[in-house]
Structure 1
Amino acid sequence: MAAVVEHTHDGVSLIEVNGKKILEKNISFEENQDLELESLRLEEIFSYVNTADTRELHFLLDGYKMSLELAEDGIVQGFGLKSGRAYLSEVYGDHVPADLYEHPMNYLPDDLPTRARILVAAASDARMGGSRLPAMAAMGDGNQGLTAMIPVGTAAEFLGKNEDETIRALALSCLMLFYVKIHIGRAAAFCLCAIAASAGAAAGLAYLMGASEKQLKAAVKNSISPLCGMLCDGAKNACALKMAIASSTAISAVTLAFKDVECGFYDGVADDTLEQTVSCITDIAAGSMDMLDKAMVDEILKKSERRRMEMQKN
């Protein structure tokens, strides 16, 4: 079986089975929309978030609630790697409540980083492991939506923020994700949950905590810098672990920014400004990453062939 995917994750233009074409079509792609987003300045994003009519953005709250339902399903049903279950049970050590996995939302810890990590991982467990519940995608990707929304929504609850403030923070998280992703590329070899969605979460979290524009940009840079080397090796159960790391990094990045810690010019891909930092990663993504993609696919196919041979022997 062979398939060709163009432009976007769902842009399937060709499917062949045993040498026979069962699907072939031209995939159109609206580049104008991407070009418009690429020209969007961060100041315009900040201005929109502060002035938007939140009644038109209420669907973001629905997306957050949808994400929580998915997280609960991940723990109750024990989907995927069961990483959400593992993170939750770790909180209680040797004294795990008898109904922990039946009513997990009653036992979430009063600790923002840990709670967000549990919920993000559990939601991914469910989505990657076969749950029938929906996830709200962000720029075409459900896992990125979960990573951008759950830490921000959870923080809003912790901080006692009202609905208006929560919606604006969720909007900023998604828009920052869009900003980073549209520059790096929709299907880059990087893990965009780690880079783009974590950047979004950092922005939304910083907004909720009353950050200045300088602190907010520092938080996003602090999130991007340590995660820029994380690669995408396909959609699978282990995405939950990457998303948990992305969530924790976003929260830590904001904490550091408020203590005047900021990755800068002498720190690898980080640069003087957030815009320059994103530009640096964009250049890397547009460079030799095609070779990396091919090497990644080759290794996965090699592994699959090895398993096929092992099964034939048995």
Structure 2
Amino acid sequence: MVEESLMNNYTEILQNELVPAMGCTEPIAIAYAAAAARKLLGEEVKEIKLCCSGNIIKNVKAVTVPNSGGQKGMQVAAILGVLGGDSDLKLEVLSTVTDEDREQCRKLVDTGFCKVSFQEEGPKLYIAVELLSENHKVKLEIANQHSNIIYMEKDGEVLYKEGEEDKQDVISTGGDRSLMSLQGILDYANAVDLSLVRPSLQRQVEMNLAISQEGLDNPWGASVGKTILETWGSDVRACACARAAAGSDARMSGCPLPVVINSGSGNQGITVSMPVVEYAKALSISEEKMYRALIVSNLVSVYIKHYIGALSAFCGAVSASCGAGAGITYLCGGNYQKIGRTISNTLGNVGGIVCDGAKPSCAAKIASSVHAAILAHHMSMKDQGFHGGEGIVEEDVEKTIRNMGYIGKVGMQSTDREILKVMTDQVDVNSCV
């Protein structure tokens, strides 16, 4: 019997993680910060100063800002947030943008109206927006999570400031991740009253299926999902990879349809859900069992990401695919050992994929990671897998997860810096003053 406090903790994590977002969450976070700052300012904006961490810059540079009419970049995200964003909608902040806002943004983006600078130290997820009007100046900061405002100031007066302990590079709200374990996740998935989480899971399935179908029906991005179905066939393995990739095809190229995210990422939200839905359909699994498998998939991804941090050089498609693989193994009757082996087999294969920013090629990384997770699942069901002492893999899956987390958060710091050097040399950013 799972303790009630632990059950409540997992429920809180799911309810806080599975929220809708429009488009790539990094430009949306910039737009949200800008819209919230404009609301605080209360006057027409004359100038925007935007300062972001390297990982925000990396994830905004090459992705199309949703509802922007095909525009890209940090300036576009901030300007649209100021012109037409609704901060009350949080990660769907740009759903209210109009044609007039888009046209005005095109005129302003190259005028110096929005100046961008680079925050070298501090949290990997950090955004500071300063707005100036005729009579006032405001500053607003976001850190650690995409809609987590940590600081607000107007005309030199501090209106809100989180404690310094909250500014560390951790995912800190919506349940205690340090209490998670694979066995705890499985116990929770088996025992939870589905009425507590069904609305969040149902919304995840419906929204993510819609954007996945959009990616399959129309030529978004590099059409990775469409290409898979056209060349690999249409068995459940191909469909699982294609569905996940197609959702990313659409959202990385500016599709305005919302997705339900996981670990702060729409791509990860699509990756944890679509393969499980495809396998449940192909295997004629009941809706209840599918939802419980989605609980496993979502929470395994959150659990792995907890050790890595919000943003890093580690591709989040891998941790999300581990979740999907775990959910598929759960659907097929796998126990703790088989599910754990699926996770270890996946990490032992594609644990080294790097994140070089949000862009159309994310769809291909998702397809590769989901393919690896499906292979890992089939190996596990045959009691085959990688053994402790082989690279980062340990006999205990919990240790394997911690090993990967250490590599992603600590070991890949230098990789992250070098990726950022390559990418920021190509954009006009200066050190923060």
TM-fit CA distance, 1:67: 1.4
- Provide the residue aligned with 2:306 in structure 1: 182
Computed over aligned residues only, the root mean square deviation of the Cα atoms, in angstroms, reads 2.4
Which stretch shows the higher mean deviation, 275-284 or 172-181? 275-284
- Provide the residue aligned with 1:311 in structure 2: none
- Provide the residue aligned with 2:7 in structure 1: none
TM-fit CA distance, 1:64: 1.6
Give the number of the structure whose alpha-carbon radius of gyration is greater.
Answer: 2
Task: Report if the CA contact (8 A) 2:307-2:406 is conserved.
Answer: no
2:141 to 25, 28, 32: 25
Cα separation, 2, equivalents of 1:84 and 1:193: 15
Cα displacement string for residues 68-108 of structure 1 (whole angstroms, at most 9, x for unaligned residues): 2111111222111111222222257xxxxxxxxxxxxxxxx
Cα separation, 2, equivalents of 1:285 and 1:35: 22
Q: Structure 1 vs Structure 2: percent identity of aligned residues?
A: 28
- Provide the residue aligned with 1:100 in structure 2: none
- Identify unmatched segments of 5+ residues in structure 1: 93-108, 306-314
Cα separation, 2, equivalents of 1:261 and 1:213: 15
Cα separation, 2, equivalents of 1:152 and 1:141: 18
| Residue identity matched to 1:67 | N
TM-score computed with the length of structure 2 as normaliser: 0.61
TM-fit CA distance, 1:13: 2.6
Cα separation, 2, equivalents of 1:91 and 1:277: 32
- Provide the residue aligned with 1:298 in structure 2: 421
- Provide the residue aligned with 1:82 in structure 2: 223
TM-fit CA distance, 1:250: 1.2
- Provide the residue aligned with 2:88 in structure 1: none
- Provide the residue aligned with 2:317 in structure 1: 193
Is 2:339 aligned against 1:244? no
Q: Find the residue that maps to 2:259 and give its secondary structure.
A: coil
For the structure 1 residues 16 and 255, does the alpha-carbon distance in structure 2 shift closer, same or farther, using more than 3 Å as the test?
farther
TM-score computed with the length of structure 1 as normaliser: 0.83
- Provide the residue aligned with 1:42 in structure 2: 182
TM-fit CA distance, 1:14: 4.8
2:206 to 52, 65, 75: 65
Which stretch shows the higher mean deviation, 161-170 or 57-66? 57-66
Task: Report if the CA contact (8 A) 1:173-1:204 is conserved.
Answer: yes
2:127 to 8, 12, 21: 12
| Residue identity matched to 2:384 | V
1:207 to 330, 335, 351: 330
- Provide the residue aligned with 2:347 in structure 1: 224
For the structure 1 residues 162 and 66, does the alpha-carbon distance in structure 2 shift closer, same or farther, using more than 3 Å as the test?
same
- Identify unmatched segments of 5+ residues in structure 2: 1-115, 143-149, 151-161, 429-433
Cα displacement string for residues 151-170 of structure 1 (whole angstroms, at most 9, x for unaligned residues): 01110111111111010000
- Provide the residue aligned with 1:104 in structure 2: none
Task: Report if the CA contact (8 A) 2:124-2:311 is conserved.
Answer: yes
For the structure 1 residues 82 and 16, does the alpha-carbon distance in structure 2 shift closer, same or farther, using more than 3 Å as the test?
farther
Cα separation, 2, equivalents of 1:276 and 1:91: 35
Cα separation, 2, equivalents of 1:261 and 1:234: 34
Is 2:260 aligned against 1:136? yes
Cα separation, 1, equivalents of 2:321 and 2:310: 15
- Provide the residue aligned with 1:156 in structure 2: 280
Pairs aligned (count)? 283
Task: Report if the CA contact (8 A) 1:147-1:246 is conserved.
Answer: no
Which stretch shows the higher mean deviation, 114-123 or 61-70? 61-70
Q: Find the residue that maps to 1:55 and give its secondary structure.
A: helix
For the structure 1 residues 16 and 287, does the alpha-carbon distance in structure 2 shift closer, same or farther, using more than 3 Å as the test?
farther
For the structure 1 residues 288 and 248, does the alpha-carbon distance in structure 2 shift closer, same or farther, using more than 3 Å as the test?
closer
